[in-house]
Chains A and B, each alone.
Chain A
Amino acid sequence: MYDFNYQKPSSVADAVNAMKAASDGKVLAGGQTLLPTMKQRLASPSDVVDLAGCGDLSGISASGGSVTIGAMCTHAAVAGSSDVKGAIPALAAMAGDIGDPAVRARGTIGGSIANNDPAADYPAACVALGATIKTDRREISADDFFTGLFDTALAEDEIIVSVSFPAASKAAYEKFKQPASRFALVGVFVAQGSGGARVAVTGAGENGVFRVSAMESALSGNFSAGALDGASVSADGLNSDIHAQADYRAHLVGVLAKRAVAAAG
């Protein structure tokens, strides 16, 4: 690890100012990606701006048919939250199956979606549930937020404050884990919300999370596993690596989508 300036502001506004002032600052949330990268000397930020002291980034609340999760809420907190479990049980279950207990105790929702790892779980949940990401300066819909591999709509110094999820009448997430990392080799989040059926896939796409419109159409009038018979995903644009070639990933999207719909009831 190279030397860096450590900063621990006590509010989002101060954190944004610290980022603006830094020549090459990085925001530290749960540190599940940033710290290992720094330890391996693969990242050398001038400043690390730790959000742990920002009280305005914590807390989970439910109101008006949606649940709002502070950016610094850990996966364990989301998994254990009665508000989340009450509003969107599939979201709590998904958070409870991220990584291992140590990861869930440190990793945060804000850190996960800001990093936008193509195999992360939260992007699929955000897109499938039609979440809104609130930052220090604006609100961004999930559809507009995830822009590519490890890429988001966030500006360099923009910090996520919270994520709001509208409750869905039906939702479920099916994850097929990569055997080594246990990240999603393919993960499919399906939801039946006020805006209709949504199917979001993580782990498979070359550019990260994506929606499967053919499946969404098939489910719109008939939210059942059987409605997906014959619906398939093209292998074009899907990842190939030693764990799964694109055709296998495409196949898994179909299998998992059906299982998710069945699980959603």
Chain B
Amino acid sequence: MPDGATNTGIGASVKRVEDKRFLTGKGNYVDDINRPGQTYAYILRSPHAHAKINSIDTSAAKSASGVVAVFTGEDMQVGSIPCGWQVDSADGTPMREPGHPALAQGKVRYVGDQVAIVIADTLDQAKDAAEKINVDYTPLKAVVDLRDALADTTLVHDEIETNISYDWAIGDKAEVDAVFDGAAHVTKMDIVNNRLIPNAMEPRAAIGDFDRASGEYTLYTTTQNPHVIRLLMGAFVLSIPEHKLRVVAPDVGGGFGSKIFHYAEEAITTWAAGQIARPIKWTAERSESFITDAHGRDHLSHAELALDANGKFLGLRVETAANMGAYLSTFASAVPTYLHATLLAGVYTTPVIYCNIKAVFTNTVPVDAYRGAGRPEASYLLERLVDRAARETGLDQVDIRRRNFIPSDAFPYQTPVALAYDSGDYEATLSSALKLAEVDGFAARKAEAAGRGKKRGLGYSTYIEACGVAPSAVAGALGARAGLYESAEVRVHPTGSVTVFTGSHSHGQGHETTFAQLVSDQLGIPIENVDISHGDTGKVQFGMGTYGSRSLAVGGEAIVKATDKIISKAKKIAAHVLEASAEDIEFAGGNFTVAGTDRSMAFGEVALTAYVPHNFPHEELEPGLDETAFYDPANFTFPGGCHICEVEVDPDTGTVEVVSFTAVDDVGRVINPMIVEGQVHGGVAQGIGQALLEGCSYDEDGQLLTGSFMDYAMPRAHNLPSFKVATEETLCAHNSLGVKGCGEVGAIGSPPAVINAVVDALADMGVTDVAMPATPQTVWRAIQTAKS
């Protein structure tokens, strides 16, 4: 623990202050909010993956009992839902960004696409009326499979004359090809990163409200970033200026990325509230979430790794087709490029890398960032490839990694794929994980399992990720439209209590605790005296929100900057009262002291003086103690680590049991170890879910086959062992706290460890690959194929 830490300060496992209200049912979620005169909306959706809309007859619905209004795309002529990130093709042409209407305009492009909104006094009335809407569709051939879409025989968007949004590349292909020509060994793999459905516990919801007196719109919505929604929806879709649009994201029950994006329902309810001048509530049903929440991952890659005779990596080349779904969602274009291709160096010294990304439209739900966003795709690709390379060359799994690690004295380390890592010690996390996982005893455990007819396997993943998205300078250099900083306001009240307004949004991360620990630690005041306020554009000055494990590394730093300003101003006040120079005031333990004297003022006294400034020299010193700061990081942060998974496979049924899972992560300085551990647990659970259970599946007509929990398998407690979790700290070199971020490490590091373990278990049966999710049938079939 650093100096000044207390039992509630930096490094303390303070129990989450928000949990009391969540666990006692006192949370305030969007669906808990009810506005006077509120109506209820049902959204009629396309049953077809691809169809032309010839006509929509809403007359019977409009006259149905309780109906207030029915609107279709013809009524709602507004701007297109924008994508936030620009990606140019390798030939310099900008990405193709076809229109993304909130309500369908003449065509529907996936099952679930919005066709009409029915607004009624009750939800049942809205549903009854929706059944009276007659939509005349001409169904069109749907393109669902990525390979089919690449052939361009069926187009999702006729106007762009291709299904490819962009054909982007990083690295010098000729240089990489030359390296491959001279390599002692080349390992090649086709790798699928399976499509996932996020399934936050709280379904999405939105309430649109309009104040006829002020002309102000309010949107209550389940978002991870209310200011971003205000900007995207206000400026691009509905043309409502910021000062007439308030976006409130109260308690939100999990996001995992799926609640970053600006969704059609937000725009529809806000716009329609203005039309009827009554509040409108829409809450997704779970089955609606499956077909409308942006899905995750869905990459099809071919990857090749060149090695020299000593197992050193010489070069990597990757071709990836990334499924975008029917439209470009808010972050979608950035995921396979800026968050995937740039991570392909991993923790290794591979000197040259080439990666080509084709972003492809299909008649499926839009695909966008999901916990890890691009980085799980990179770590899975790379760690499967390294595992295969070790098996092909006869090298030990640990040895091949050690031979290629970026050494701990090589930082800062410039990779060949744009990113420059600031700090890390991959040997430290590896050796710690080897001990924690008791790898030395594995052979004996494998033999014992064999006696029970089980195949036991051990799998490794040494991974890196980039957090703290996204430094404006780095994002700008990559050609992005956006740059992501964060803001904070620290408002000291007259009696010394503090409210912190942060642009980060908490939807399970525990910010109300972690941020309060930071401020309590910095100002030397009790944690109970600090409140964290977030999620309301009417309260918080600005914000980019929470995703990409950025809250502490970016939002936390903004708070530190604002707190520094508070301390600086408070020193001036103390100097004035204590009749000293501000330079001579020292601040420690919550007290402002004239250096070398016993003349001192407590933080609370300074606060009161700030608001009761009877004798301030107002030319030099303003009353009040309230400071705002914006923080734009110099670089990404780079958490990394080692995950080791041990499985037992039942060869008769193909069932995989994860018997042990070890995660040793370097997330930089840890503010609250208990929260970090919880984040790792959740991330690993989702990673094991992706590896063994979760697989979104469509039929060839674009109907979702995994449209409910009856067919989409989420991880349950019995699928998971008790995790062994530890951290190794190297400090981030470019932020004051030394923090890196912990929200996604579990989901990024774990899937390749699991699959590598399954392959290891079955290697002596001739199995070389098992696709995710490694369901019993998939594993059994891999065994049968290897046998034959």
Q: Which A residues fall within an 8 A CB radius of B?
A: 1, 40-41, 176, 179-181, 183, 242-245, 248, 251-252, 255
Contact = CB atoms under 8 A, between A and B. Distances in A.
A255 B653 CA distance: 8
Interface string B711-728: 111100000000000000
**Interface-centre pick from B287, B652, B714, B777 (highest chain A CB count, 10 A):** B777
15 contacts: A176-B653, A176-B776, A179-B693, A180-B710, A180-B712, A180-B713, A242-B695, A243-B711, A243-B775, A243-B777, A248-B777, A248-B780, A248-B781, A251-B780, A255-B653
Contacts of A251: 780
Interface string B699-711: 0000001100111
A257 to B, nearest CB: 12
Contacts of B712: 180
A255 B652 contact: yes
Contacts of B777: 243-245, 248
B785 to A, nearest CB: 12
Given A180-B709, A242-B697, A255-B653, A40 B287 contact: yes
Given A1-B124, A243-B775, 13 more contacts: A176-B776, A179-B693, A179-B713, A179-B776, A180-B693, A180-B713, A181-B709, A242-B697, A243-B711, A244-B777, A248-B777, A248-B780, A251-B780
Interface string B647-665: 0000011000000000000
A242 B706 contact: yes
B127 interface: yes
Contacts of A41: 127
**Interface-centre pick from A40, A242, A252 (highest chain B CB count, 10 A):** A242
B652 A242 contact: no
Interface in B770-788: 775-777, 780-781
A196 to B, nearest CB: 27
Nearest to B705: A242
3 A-B pairs with the lowest CB-CB distances in the bound complex, closest first = A180-B713, A179-B713, A181-B710
A248 to B, nearest CB: 5
Contacts of B706: 180, 242
A199 B714 CA distance: 32
Contacts of A180: 693, 706, 709-714
Nearest to B716: A182
A255 B127 CA distance: 47
A236 to B, nearest CB: 18
Contacts of A244: 777
Contacts of A40: 287
Contacts of B287: 40
A213 B710 CA distance: 31
Contacts of B695: 242
A183 B709 CA distance: 12
Contacts of A255: 652-653
Nearest to A182: B716
A180 B653 CA distance: 16
A203 B705 CA distance: 18
B370 to A, nearest CB: 18
Interface string B74-116: 0000000000000000000000000000000000000000000
Contacts of B775: 179, 243
Nearest to B780: A248
Contacts of A245: 777
A40 B285 CA distance: 10
**Interface-centre pick from A180, A243, A252 (highest chain B CB count, 10 A):** A180
A176 B775 CA distance: 12
A252 B654 CA distance: 10
A242 B773 CA distance: 12
Nearest to B127: A41
Contacts of B713: 179-180
Interface string B336-358: 00000000000000000000000
Contacts of B780: 248, 251
Contacts of A242: 695, 697, 705-706, 711
Contacts of B124: 1
Nearest to A259: B652
Nearest to B711: A180
Nearest to B128: A2
B252 to A, nearest CB: 25
A252 B653 contact: yes
A171 B543 CA distance: 64
Interface string B750-788: 000000000000000000000000011100110000000
B129 to A, nearest CB: 13
Contacts of A243: 711, 775, 777
Contacts of A183: 710
Nearest to B699: A242
Nearest to A180: B713
A41 B653 CA distance: 37
Contacts of A248: 777, 780-781
A1 B775 CA distance: 35
A243 B697 CA distance: 11
Contacts of B697: 242
A41 B126 CA distance: 13
A252 B652 CA distance: 8
A191 to B, nearest CB: 22
A165 B709 CA distance: 33
A203 to B, nearest CB: 13
A108 B775 CA distance: 31
A228 B6 CA distance: 67
Contacts of B710: 180-181, 183
B483 to A, nearest CB: 41
Nearest to B693: A179
A56 B693 CA distance: 44
Contacts of B709: 180-181
Nearest to B715: A179
Nearest to A40: B287
A71 B563 CA distance: 68
A150 to B, nearest CB: 15
Nearest to A100: B716
A252 B693 CA distance: 19
A205 B697 CA distance: 23
A244 B654 CA distance: 12
B345 to A, nearest CB: 35
B641 to A, nearest CB: 28
